[in-house]
Chains A and B, each alone.
Chain A
Amino acid sequence: MARFLVRRITLALVTLWLLSVIVFLASHALPGDVGRKILGPFADERAVASLDAALGVDKPLLVQYVTWMGGFLHADLGSSLSFHVPVAELLGRGLLNSVKLAAVAFVMVVPLGVLGGIVAALRRGGLADRLITIVGLSATVVPEFVSSIVLILVFSVTLKVLPISVQVPPDADPLTQIYHLILPALPLVLVLFGYIARITRSGVIEALDADYTRTAVLKGLPWRTVVVRHVLRNALMPTIAVVATQLGYLIGGLVIIEFMFNYQGLGRLLLTAAQQRDFPLLQAAVMLVGVVYLTATLVADISYSLINPRIRLGGAE
């Protein structure tokens, strides 16, 4: 177990370091002058030079990288070039908003997906199975912004049951806030549903085919007891852990949904920063997403390996 832990944490650290190099190169190794890029072609020569000096981009690349990393490790994130406020403050609020949206999506999709997977597995090969599999497959592969269009049209424009705006007064009660987040969360639900249902289905089928299930059936237990006590208990925990390892899907979707609904979360900040070339904000946002994502997958991987000893004993092959 210790070996597995060391291996897994090392991989996470290597990934973070690689991400930092990519972020750094993407924002510093730009062709042309960084100050000129930020200030535009008509800016004064001295203004460009002083901005270059202030950003430290006139020094060698390696020195810049070390200084930059040093600042990061001391939690000194600088301030945003386009919002003119400390980056840490912006990111804190953005992260909170993103977590809210993700939570609403998760609360809807996990029970739905797991239930769909169980039904499909118990009716293996039947109509319900094929329907859930095909609908799930189709919903998973359609981009979030495409399904958003249809969902907005149906629930907001035609039926008028869900608000399209995510802007709620900050003092609104939690229920109102959640109500306004349902429509943006629905496309994420669609993308994740097929995935969760598929994993659950194969987990339940594996448990159905296992020897202990046959033993339980042969010793005369009622089918319901077999399913609830033997099949589901063995199938669901690993399923949920596998689902947690796939947070990447959710993060990619969050970026797009926040952009589309103009919701001030981490993903929206990231895209704004990229479009405005707001490098301090972009770098910090990417690193924050990286840290959140890697921590979550690390926790999921470790809990999965606790449940399933084959992973931790069989190496990472």
Chain B
Amino acid sequence: MSAVATAPVTRTAAEQRREATLERLRLIRRSPTVIVGGLVLLFWVACALFASNIAPHDPIAPDVLHKLRPPSGDHLFGTDSLGRDVLSRVIHGARGILVVAPAATLFGTVLGTSIGLVAGYFRGVVEEVLMRITDAFLAIPVIILATLALVALGPSTLGVIFVIGLVFAPIIARTVRAAVLTEAGLEYVQAAKLRKERGPYVMFVEILPNVLGPVLVEFTVRLGYAIFATATLSFIGFGIQPPAPDWGLSIFEQYSYLVGGLWWPTLFPALAIASLVVAVNLVADGLGQALDR
């Protein structure tokens, strides 16, 4: 009898939830910032995936007879100081950054979400200690942490992923903790606790799915910062190493020619970084606005 009475109620609740999700998706798809950002992002992902098929030349092979040639029919973006085709290097350069930045963000998100869940769920001393360490970590400028860690570990792609992830974790932990605090007072969490479910189960199976919204928004926002940080670390020589056609690295290698008016080896990678980072932030901004409603 009771099952009959409650069934329609839960169905409408589920329906409401699905409707809300659909409404959000509609909002996201209609937002012009998300569309523009998404298209640019898609363009770079395609470049990264099919770089070898699209690029007209080898991105690494030097050609000393044709160095620093201005843009022409054969080299649309010109050639750099070693005679390498700038267009091909820009296309191939999407690869490194689009692997490193998302990997770093994912690492930071997983670590930060776990810390936030534990801190928000257990409260008390655990929370106090975790959040104080988090605050202290947050108070140190990112570039300094990154420099120090890379001095200790040596410059490497894995090092960059590790460092950026580690720097992001406290920020994500703070967001997740705040979301968990509101969830922890709701009935389904109390019900799970009364069923004597174990802590990890309540945290990861009951609470986690309900805080995924903020986590997703935080992930896209962090992804923008990760691209910023990855490019910057490559530029100062602590990131992706030569002869990789990385954008930040190319700018570092070629920007001394800029003063002489040889703009093409640096301007094109610079525009690539700018377009990618702005695109990701437009998507993040649109997602944030749609999910906040």
Contacts and interface: CB of A to CB of B under 8 A. Distances in A.
B20 interface: no
Nearest to B181: A317
B198 interface: no
Given A149-B258, A152-B258, A137 B285 contact: yes
Given A146-B231, A157-B258, A286-B148, A271 B236 contact: yes
Interface stretch (B49-57, B62-70, B131-139): B131-139
A311 B32 CA distance: 37
Main SS at interface, chain B = helix
Nearest to A28: B152
A181 interface: no
A164 interface: yes
Contacts of A18: 133, 136-137, 140
Contact of A256 (B137, B143, B224): B143
Contact of B281 (A14, A30, A137, A277): A137
A25 B137 CA distance: 15
A205 to B, nearest CB: 15
B209 interface: no
Contacts of B133: 18
Contact of B151 (A145, A147, A282, A293): A282
25 contacts: A11-B135, A15-B135, A15-B136, A15-B140, A26-B149, A138-B281, A143-B235, A143-B248, A144-B232, A145-B232, A145-B251, A146-B273, A149-B266, A149-B270, A150-B270, A152-B259, A248-B142, A255-B143, A256-B143, A274-B150, A274-B151, A282-B148, A286-B144, A286-B148, A289-B144
Given A143-B248, A290-B140, 8 more contacts: A18-B133, A22-B148, A26-B148, A255-B144, A256-B143, A270-B147, A271-B236, A274-B151
B263 A157 contact: yes
A145 B235 contact: yes
Interface of B: 132-133, 135-137, 139-145, 147-152, 224, 228, 231-232, 235-238, 248, 251, 255, 258-259, 261, 263, 266-267, 270, 273-274, 277-278, 281-282, 285
A23 B228 CA distance: 24
B236 A11 contact: no
Contacts of A303: none
B142 A252 contact: yes
Interface string A103-124: 0000000000000000000000
Given A26-B148, A137-B285, A252 B141 contact: yes
B273 A156 contact: no
A116 B10 CA distance: 50
B132 A14 contact: yes
A164 B139 contact: no
A256 B232 contact: yes
Contacts of B147: 255, 270-271, 274
Nearest to A255: B143
Sorted from nearest, which 10 A-B pairs have the closest CB atoms? Answer: A15-B136, A26-B148, A26-B152, A252-B143, A149-B270, A15-B139, A141-B281, A146-B270, A248-B141, A251-B141
A143 B273 contact: yes
